[in-house]
Chain A
Amino acid sequence: MSPLSMTRTQFEERLFGVLRWVVIAFLAVITIAPFYYMVLLSVKSIDSLLLDPGSLWVSAKEFTLSTYENVLKPQSEGGQGFLQLLLNSALVSLGTVALTLIAAVPGAYAISRLKFFGNRQISAMFLAVYMFPATLLAVPLFVMFAKLGLSSSLAGLAIVYVAQTVPVSIYMLKNYFVTIPYSIEEAAALDGCSRLQALRKVILPLALPSLMATGLYVFMIAWNEFLFALLFLAADPEKWTVSLGLAQLSNGIEVSKTVLMAGSVVLTIPVILLFFAAERLLTEGLTSGADKS
């Protein structure tokens, strides 16, 4: 080891030691600041925003919750009726989670644990479907629902979301199912369980973390979705989801930006709460298998 390389090592170590903290500070700013800004603006009136756009806090005099009042109050009382939209979003998202899990569990179980004719082809197909772009789906589903008279229906929207979430759910569940030891099921079979009973009484309870992670991920996708809500529900304000309602709100000129920010907070909070309640579960469910690749 020459002294020169020693200094190079020392130099790099010192440099990266500093750079690391710069990066950490940068990441903290870019991820937290936008959300702070969102909350900040949501408790101001539009006048105080226009007066001092660069301000980073809200004084007690400026502080107001009238923005939230405006967003949540029903339209009949001059508000934006977001409570109804929250309910719509919740219905669609929960419905999507239930339908997706019901549809995905048997298939994920089969391709992960059972040897059957065509197993590999079908599991490759499930993965390939995951790669299909949503734009390809948008046109036929739009037409199909127009034909069936299902456009402007929350149930129809939930079905569309199932189409988007089933493939990734199969993938996530499969990754977890393969980690459950086969012997547990054999023991269940010896005890006289049928396959279906084994799945219900043994495998599913063991896979609960993965079921929850997958359900949560599906919920997030459905709650946050915008394109299909716009395509299917735009004509019927009663049925709007929060995302769509917020986007439509921004087109109205008479709605102030701070009210818009209050709407954004209302839209974001449920997802963020759920996410922090189950962060570990979700990140592990998503990345399981990544460390083995």
Chain B
Amino acid sequence: MSTAQSGATKRRTAATTPEPPPADEQRQRKKSRPPSATGRENRAGLAFVTPTFVVVLVVVILPILWTVLLAFQNAKLVDIQDMGLLGNWTLDNFTQVFSSAGFWSSLSTTLVYTVGATLGSVVLGLIAALALRTPFRGRGLLRGAMLLPYVAPVVAVAFVWEVALSPQYGIVNEWGRSLFGWDDPIAFLSTREYEVGLLGAHFDIPLALLTVIAFETWRYFPFAFLFILARLQAVPGGLEEAAKVDGATPLQRFRHILLPQLMPVMALLCVLRFIMTFNKFDDVYLLTNGGAGTEVAAVRVYDFLTSRYDVGAAAAQALVLAAVLMVLLGLYFKFFGKKVQEES
């Protein structure tokens, strides 16, 4: 956008600057060419952007504003038919949300889930991009196959995981027993805490939560992989060659040459994935129904909405979730935003 525009201005100034033309020619030029050119472009721009703007306004922005209203209203689905847009003001929804059992634990679950899945998918995406950077036989094929988890429908892949991890007929438990000698089948998706013994010490790990994090990592690492690989292939080869000649080891070349180049895109991916995962509903709902310590906040919104038909409370819960997300993003940009910009 900027190049095209600056190009246009440059041409215009180049045409006018050389020498001040005689007065009447100047007047002529004024007549033949714009005040109207920019005005016309302005009008055309507004004309083109208006339909899109209206659609976004009607289907996205107005509904979100309505969420804000609903959050402060006493709104149940049954009486919504005859309820006006305004009125019935109350703060009950928020007290209900904050005081309801499990609100704070669901918030911390959401955070753990989001951070784990975001880091997991970006790091695995990075590793995959590095491994597939140089050509080998079958790279194209693998590259295509690696996008499968990302493009496949969530319902289908969630079932595959559910069946594969099942304690009764799942392949994972079957192999775990025959290869690793597991005594009992492990119920990956319904075990809140799993006791592990390591070097004589026993501690509990939140198994179901870790499993949904693994699922999310698996499903979204291809997305990170795509972006990181694209950036990786734009890194000038000369830089690395030079470092190689200077005797830098592969690790040093990665740390000092590749990583700084990849940092901006990885930071962007982290922000994107964080936002998307923070509000994720389907994955957890399909795998565990929000049980066994995996109740993320988005699942609670759904529960308020469908099992209690409490529209106001659902709106309040969604709003609180969005507010927490905004605060976190604000903090992120305050502390890291500048740094990322400098590095890019």
Contacts and interface: CB of A to CB of B under 8 A. Distances in A.
Partners in one complex: yes
Contacts of A81: none
Q: In which size bucket is the chain B interface?
A: 35 or more
B242 interface: no
Contacts of A104: 52
B337 to A, nearest CB: 14
Interface stretch (A62-70, A71-79, A158-166): A158-166
B226 A20 contact: no
B234 interface: yes
B148 A35 contact: yes
B212 interface: no
Contacts of B4: 113, 178, 181-182
Given A54-B174, A166-B59, A272 B66 contact: no
B151 A135 contact: no
Interface stretch (B99-107, B124-132, B186-194, B200-208): B124-132
Contacts of A167: 56, 60
Given A37-B160, A115-B45, A135 B279 contact: yes
Given A108-B52, A139-B315, A166-B59, A32 B145 contact: yes
A60 to B, nearest CB: 21
Contacts, number: 307
B142 to A, nearest CB: 6
B247 A260 contact: no
Interface stretch (B16-24, B115-123, B301-309): B301-309
Interface residues of A, number: 107
A276 B152 CA distance: 12
A25 to B, nearest CB: 10
B257 interface: no
Interface in A69-126: 103-119, 122, 125-126
B226 A114 contact: no
B67 interface: yes
Contacts of A50: 168-169
A250 B156 CA distance: 11
Contacts of A38: 156, 159-160
A200 B159 CA distance: 44
- Highest count of chain A CB atoms <10 Å: which of B49, B230, B306: B49
Given A136-B67, A166-B59, A290 B265 contact: yes
A148 to B, nearest CB: 11
Given A133-B322, A140-B70, A163-B59, A115 B227 contact: no
A293 B268 contact: yes
A13 B250 contact: yes
A137 interface: yes
Interface string A255-283: 00100110111011001100110010001
- Highest count of chain B CB atoms <10 Å: which of A28, A139, A142: A139
A106 B52 contact: yes
Interface in B242-291: 247-251, 264-265, 268, 275, 278-279, 281-282, 285-286
Contact of B275 (A27, A133, A143): A133
A272 B234 CA distance: 28
Contacts of B231: 290-291, 293
B160 A116 contact: no
A1 interface: yes
- Highest count of chain B CB atoms <10 Å: which of A199, A265, A283: A283
Contact of A143 (B48, B160, B311): B311
A108 B247 CA distance: 48
A34 interface: yes
A143 B59 contact: no
Contact of A107 (B48, B66, B142, B152): B48
A227 interface: yes
Nearest to A279: B144
Contacts of A139: 67, 70, 301, 305, 311, 314-315, 318
Contacts of A144: 63, 66
Contacts of B318: 133, 135-136, 138-139
A122 B151 contact: no
Given A23-B128, A159-B59, A143 B70 contact: yes
A61 interface: no
B111 interface: no
B325 interface: yes
Contacts of B315: 139-140
B163 A267 contact: no
A37 B64 contact: no
A140 B174 contact: no
7 contacts: A129-B56, A163-B59, A163-B63, A178-B3, A243-B156, A265-B156, A287-B226
Interface of A: 1, 5-6, 8-9, 12-13, 16, 20, 23-24, 27-28, 30-32, 34-35, 37-38, 41, 49-50, 53-54, 103-119, 122, 125-126, 129, 131-144, 146-147, 159-160, 162-163, 166-167, 170, 174, 178, 181-182, 195, 199, 220, 223-224, 226-227, 231, 242-244, 246-247, 250, 257, 260-261, 263-265, 267-268, 271-272, 275-276, 279, 283, 286-287, 290-293
Listed from nearest, the 5 A-B pairs whose CB atoms lie closest are A107-B52, A116-B45, A114-B45, A133-B279, A54-B174
